[in-house]
Every structure is written in C-alpha cells, then in structure tokens.
C-alpha cells in the first residue's frame, strides 16, 4: 500500500468529518483546491510543512495521517499471506524467528 494513498484516505476522512470542503481546506493550507484533491487521491504526498498545517487545522497528531483503515489492513493481510505462501520452509522459519524477536 502506497503511503500517499494511506495519507490521502485519512486526509479526506478528516476533512469530511470536520465539515470542510476541499476549497476551504486549500484556503487554510495556502494551496489550490487541485492540490488538496491530489493529496486525497494519493497523487501527491504531504510535505512536512503541509503536514504541520494539517495537524493544526484538525488538532491531531501527525501519526493520524499514517494509520491504516480496516480495509487497508485486510489488503495488506491478503498480500502478506500470498507472499508467505510463496516462501520455502527456510524462509518461513526466518520470518517466524524475526517475528518472535520483534515481540520479545
């Protein structure tokens, strides 16, 4: 999953929850509406300064823009399952050992 898609989905959700139009958010950010649309659709990433302004507008932490939705989790779970299924026994053993080490 591309990070720009994740941040875009979260940006759109937060904008709608705040009751803002793309034009209104663009005004707060000092950009044009097309930039907001591009960010929401994952065609444009969030710069550090834009992320800072978004956090001020929505009164949130930067991490909220990078959280996966349940649908995104399902997509990643499916992809991981497919990739693990392609691994040989030794590869699966290394992956398991790494997971155990991360959770220790």
- Confidence band of 80 (pLDDT split at 50, 70, 90): confident
Q: Are 34 and 1 in contact (CB under 8 A)?
A: no
Copy the structure tokens of residue 17.
Answer: 């929850």
pLDDT tens for each residue of 84-97 = 888 899 888 888 88
> What is this structure's pTM?
0.69
Backbone angles phi, psi at 35, to 5 degrees: -70, -40
pLDDT tens for each residue of 42-78 = 999 999 999 999 999 999 999 999 988 777 677 667 7
pLDDT tens for each residue of 18-51 = 999 999 999 999 999 999 999 999 999 999 999 9
Taking all residues of the chain, what is their mean pLDDT, rounded to a whole number? 89
């Amino acid at each position: 999953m591309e990070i720009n898609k994740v941040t875009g989905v979260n940006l759109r959700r937060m904008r709608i929850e705040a009751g803002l139009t793309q034009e209104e958010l663009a005004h707060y950010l000092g950009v044009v509406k097309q930039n907001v649309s591009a960010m929401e659709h994952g065609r444009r990433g969030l710069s550090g300064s834009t992320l800072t302004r978004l956090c001020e507008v929505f009164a949130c932490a930067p991490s909220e823009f990078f959280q996966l939705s349940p649908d995104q989790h399902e997509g990643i779970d499916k992809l991981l399952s497919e990739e693990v299924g392609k691994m040989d026994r030794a590869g699966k053993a290394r992956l398991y050992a790494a997971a155990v080490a991360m959770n220790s």
